[in-house]
């Protein structure tokens, strides 16, 4: 039994050495995208033909690999290969998202404050002379009030859209 285990461990070590050599060779040369895909297909074919375990049993039916799961696996592998997810990239992405949200909230609050401030503060006479609706002979809704409401509602829209974004987008 120990002789079989020794043979298995020797062959496993040889496989690991060859794989390390292959990885070193790949890192030293530049290969086009089509060649990389071909190498990836060959590697997956070799792994699937060499395995005798039941780890792939959900994907294999009657000794044949399911075409839909094979295509999904290849797409997922390629996506992981292209994106190369690591902690630094994830942290940088989450910090960028947080900063984006904070900036949008600050801008929206400033727009809301500016809009309502423009309504409360007295307007210059050249804006006051264009009154759209008169409430009484001395007061009414001016163009400055309409512009102020547009600015305030733009701020409210940005604030609501910042917090209502779905995770799926």
Angle at CA of residue 77, ends 94 and 68, nearest 5° = 120
**Which sign does the torsion angle of CA 50, 54, 59, 62 carry?**
positive
130 φ, ψ to 5°?
A: -100, 85
Structure confidence by residue, pLDDT tens digits, 86-121:
677 778 888 998 999 999 999 999 999 999 998 888
Q: Where residue 167 falls among pLDDT bands split at 50, 70, 90?
A: low
CB 101, CB 162: distance < 8 Å:
yes
What is the reported pLDDT for 3? 57
What 3-state DSSP class applies to 141?
strand
pLDDT at 169 > cutoff 60: no
Q: What percent of the chain has pLDDT over 70?
A: 70
Please tell me the pTM assigned to this model: 0.48
Burial degree of 143 (CB within 10 A; 0-12, 13-18, 19+): middle
What is the reported pLDDT for 75? 72
Give CA–CA dist 95/19, Å, rounded. 36
């Amino acid at each position: 039994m120990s002789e079989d285990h020794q043979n298995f461990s020797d062959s496993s070590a040889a496989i690991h050495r060859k794989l390390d050599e292959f990885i070193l060779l790949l890192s030293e040369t530049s290969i086009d995208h089509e060649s990389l895909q071909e190498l990836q297909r060959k590697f997956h074919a070799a792994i699937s033909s060499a395995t005798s375990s039941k780890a792939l049993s959900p994907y294999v039916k009657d000794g044949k690999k399911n075409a839909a799961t094979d295509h999904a696996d290849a797409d997922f592998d390629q996506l992981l290969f292209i994106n190369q997810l690591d902690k630094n990239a994830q942290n940088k992405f989450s910090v960028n998202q947080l900063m984006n949200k904070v900036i949008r909230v600050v801008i929206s609050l400033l727009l809301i404050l500016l809009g309502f401030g423009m309504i409360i503060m007295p307007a210059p006479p050249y804006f006051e002379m264009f009154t759209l609706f008169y409430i009484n002979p001395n007061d009414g809704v001016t163009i400055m009030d309409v512009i102020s409401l547009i600015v305030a509602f733009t701020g409210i829209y940005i604030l609501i859209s910042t917090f209502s974004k779905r995770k799926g987008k």
